[in-house]
Amino acid sequence: MILCLKTINRDEHLAFVRTRASVSHMQVPSWGDVKADWRSESLGWFDEGGRLVGVGLVLLRPLPKLKRYLAYLPEGPVIDWSAPDLERWLEPMLAYLKGRGAFSVRMGPPVVARRWSAATVKAAIADAQARRLREVEATAHEPRAFDIADRLRQMGWQQTEAGGEDVFAVGQPRYVFQVPFAGRPLQDIRRSLNQQWRRNIKKADKAGVKVVQGGYDDLPAFYEIYVETAERDRFTPRPLAYFQRMWTALTAEDPDRMRLYLARHQNEVLAAATMLTVGEHVWYSYGASTSRNREAQPNNAIQWRMMSDAHSLGAGVYDLRGITDTLEESNHLLGLLRFKVGTGGEAIEYLGEWNYPLSKTLHKALGFYLSRR
C-alpha cells in the first residue's frame, strides 16, 4: 500500500480525530495554538484511494538564528502502529519534515508496553528491595510493543532515556496511571477505590467541601494555589497566560475539551484541577491544592467529582497522567504515586519518546544544550 503524506486543514484533522475512540489531547489541532513558542502543522496520510487514514500534529521549534527546526509530535502521530509496514508511514513523514528544514524529529508512539495492577504497585512500594517500577514484574505485557520498538531501531530511530523519575520533566511521561471505565458502572468504580479514598470522600462531604465547575474567570484562583503546589512539589510552574491560552484554544475547538474544577470550603478554594477530554479518553491534566485545611480532603473530593463527570461523558478511561518510576521512600513524588494507586486503576508504561536525527551534528548539539539546562 502506497501512502501519500501532505498537510491538511484543521477541519480535516478534527474530523479524523472524531472517528477514533482515543487520541491524545496533544494531537488535536487546537494544541498547536496552546504551544505559542512553536509553529504547528497538521499532517495527513492518504491511501491509494485518496482516503485519509492517519493524522499528526507536528510542532516546529526554530533554532536561534538558523532556519532549522526541531520537529515534535507529542504522543503521536495517530497512525496504525500495528501495521507491519511502519516504514511506509514514517519515511514519508521524515522526508517531508526534512524538506521543511527539520534537523531532528521526536515522536511519542501511543503504544502501551506493560501494565501493573494497583495491587502490584502497592506491594512494590511496600517492598524495601524494589527500587524502580520498571524492574517489577508486570501484570500484563503487550508483545507487539516490543516488536514495534525493534522495528523503529532498525529504521534508525533512537529511544530517549526511560524517564519517569520526574513526572514534571521535559517531554511526555512514559509512566502514567489510568483507571479503566469501559463497561463499568460508576458504583463498581467507586468500590475499586481503596478504603482511605472512600473514607476521605465521605470526610470531604461531611466537612462541607463543594466541588464546582469553573470558567475562564476562575483561572487566577486555580493559579494561586498551583504556584503554591509547584513550590511544595519542586517543579517550575507555567505562567497564568499559558492556562488562559489553553482554555481559550481548547474550548473554542470543543466546549468540553477542557474543564476547570474547584473544591471550595467556607468560601476558600482548597483545591483545583483541569480535565481534558478527547473522544472516550479523559485526562486529569493539572492539579493544585493549598496546604491549608487539608483535613477536609479536597483532593479526593475533586477527583471523585471529575471521575463521576468523566463517566457521565462516556469515558472509556480516566487518565491521571504521569507517575514516578522510582519507588524509594526518599523520592518526594512517591506520595503522588500512592494517591493515584488509591483509585484502584493500573500503572501503564508507554513505548516512550523516540528521536530521529536528520542532521547528526545539529541533533548532537541540541542534546548537549538540553543536558546543560
Q: Lowest mean pLDDT: which of 123-127, 132-136, 139-143, 356-360?
A: 356-360
CA dist., res. 163 & res. 326, Å (int)? 10
CA atoms of 72 and 354, how far apart (whole Å) = 10
Q: What does the pLDDT look like over 13-29, one tens digit per residue?
A: 999 999 999 999 999 99
Residue (of 108, 102, 109) closest to 363 by Cα position: 102
Whether the link from the prior residue into 77 is cis, omega within 30° of 0, is yes
Q: What is the model's pLDDT at position 166?
A: 42
pLDDT score of 370 more than 70: no
- pLDDT category at 63 given cuts 50, 70, 90 is confident
Kindly state the average pLDDT of the residues 346-356: 97
Tell me the average pLDDT across 61-66: 82
CA angle 148, 30, 66 (to 5 degrees): 75
Question: Which pLDDT score is estimated for 371?
Answer: 44
Residues 6 or more apart whose Cβ sits within 8 Å of residue 68: 62, 101, 102, 103, 359, 362
Top pLDDT among 70 and 166 is at 70
**Is the pLDDT reported for residue 366 higher than 70?**
no
3-class DSSP assignment, residue 315: coil
Q: Are 107 and 77 in contact (CB under 8 A)?
A: yes
The C-alpha atoms of residue 321 and residue 318 are separated, in whole angstroms, by 9
Residues 218, 220, 226: CA angle, nearest 5 degrees: 110
Q: Look at residue 138 in the predicted model and tell me its pLDDT.
A: 97
pLDDT tens, residue by residue, 148-206? 999 999 999 999 875 444 443 458 999 999 999 999 999 999 999 999 999 999 999 99
Q: What is the pLDDT of residue 168?
A: 36
What cell was used for 193?
Answer: 477505590
For the segment 1-7, the average pLDDT, to the nearest whole number, is: 90
CA distance 110 to 350: 7
